[in-house]
Structure 1
Amino acid sequence: MNAEQKAEYQRKQTEEKLAKREAEVTRRELMAEAKVQLADKGLPVGLAAVLDYTGADECKTSIETVSKAFAEAVECAVNERMKGNPPKAGSPTGKKDPFLEGLGV
């Protein structure tokens, strides 16, 4: 390896390190912004761990997707808890309601 090749190799190594650092800084900035957006939407900040941080557009899209999925999961859980036996028509004992009798109904 001559001096020119060695200098080229070192330049490439430096560029790769710089690109890697820049990508990591961008990822951290996107994650911080995503946590703020999740909190503003009333979503758990822990969901930031599953988002896509390859770029700003991808991050925004993944926030919207996670937000929609979370809302659907909450709605499903609420509907499941609200299920129950509907009230039976009339009185179970066959007696009239004393309140209604007092009204003359």
Structure 2
Amino acid sequence: MLSGINPTFDMSVSANSSAEKVEDIESAARAFESLFVNELLKSMRKANEAMMAGSELPMMSKDTQFFHSMFDSQLAEHLSASGGLGIAQALIRQLGD
């Protein structure tokens, strides 16, 4: 055994590491769900644009498309933070073991 090492300190460090690991897993899971939802929304917008191809509607301008992409990003972040589709919770259960 090494002299000068406080065993209570070592236990607190490992407890903090475990708590930090759980926080990291939760953060990564929410970020993944946000990215997944954002890609899902982006695909839905592209499908809508394909159906509206050739139309001269104001909703099809480049500016509107830009703001739609910003809105989709914020919506994806909000959905994942508030429970979203449940993907983050499934990942946390899977990775937390």
Task: Give your verdict on TM over 0.5.
Answer: no
Q: Kindly indicate whether structure 1 or structure 2 has the higher relative contact order, using CA contacts under 8 Å at least 6 residues apart.
A: 2
Taking structure 2 as the reference length, the TM-score comes to 0.43
Taking structure 1 as the reference length, the TM-score comes to 0.40
Choose 1 or 2 for highest CA Rg: 1
Structure having the higher helix fraction is 2
